[in-house]
Amino acid sequence: MPSEVRHLVDRGQAYPLVRLSGVLDAATTVPVRSALLDVLAAQPEAMVVDVAGLRLAEADAVRVLREVRDETRDWPGSHLALCGTPDVTAWRPSGWPVWPDAPGAFAALGVPEPAEHRIGVDLQPVAGAARRSREVITEACGRWDRPDMAGNACIVATEMVNNVVAHAGTPLTLLLALHGEAMSVAVRDFSTTPPRHGGPVAPTAYGGRGLLLIDAVADRWGHLAMDDGKIVWARLSNAETKGAA
């Protein structure tokens, strides 16, 4: 019989708790990756994965956890933890910290940051979507006492959102998060086509400069491929901090 992995997400904890059960081998690494990325797409501060019900049939299959860690290191940059196994050695190649049980993992992660430091807003692919994204960012930066970050964040969001409207044409979600002195801006859509530069635009045009402009104002940016689309993200520094570096 083919192997199978099932997952159950408990969002009633301080951080999402994903319980995996079944057999982890070469055939089930893809659905495991998909399940974990789907949870991380909501940009939680941390995620705990309980592998008590998961049998590691092939030692090399644990690489999927390392790949997830590496893919999401910059965005959403969530803290990751495994729990539910006394066999730390078998899971150590994942690069995740391993705890005997879920309470231990949650205790190590500590108290989450205020929920209002992470925002998700659903938008439709219409002409006013970029304007709405700028309004959300300006309001958030004001609440977060980061008004100096609003300009670059609005530039990034405008380019990301306009790219979805012009090329993907799917519903989208604007994702914002505060990370100490840094801020992330991301847009999720439902097109699997990678982001691309749209070519030259008029000097007087508002938006349309695409990835080149994002690259100019962001510390780092990239995209995360999902089963049903992608997330394009950028990481921005506080202007004063960046200038002092």
Q: Is the pLDDT of residue 89 over 80?
A: yes
Interval 95-145: pLDDT, tens: 999 999 999 999 999 999 999 999 999 999 999 999 999 999 999 999 999
| Top-confidence residue, 194 or 151 | 151
pTM of this prediction?
0.89
Residues 209, 158: one domain? yes
Residues 18, 57: one domain? yes
- The C-alpha atoms of residue 140 and residue 212 are separated, in whole angstroms, by 25
Domain boundary among the residues 109, 133, 159 is at 109
Residues 161, 216: one domain? yes
- Closest of 211, 238, 219 to residue 151, by C-alpha: 238
List CB contacts of 16: < 8 A, sequence separation 6 or more: 9, 10, 39, 42, 44, 47, 48
Band (86; pLDDT cuts 50, 70, 90): confident
Q: Is 208 helix (H, G, I), strand (E, B) or coil?
A: coil
Residues 159, 240: one domain? yes
Residues 184, 233: one domain? yes
Number of domains, the chain: 2
Q: Is 165 helix (H, G, I), strand (E, B) or coil?
A: helix
- 233, HSE (Cβ side, Cα atoms, 13 Å): 22
Domain boundary among the residues 109, 139, 172 is at 109
* 25: containing domain: 5-109
Residues 234, 143: one domain? yes
Domain boundary among the residues 77, 109, 141 is at 109
Interval 163-222: pLDDT, tens: 999 999 999 999 999 999 999 999 999 999 988 655 544 444 444 456 888 999 999 999
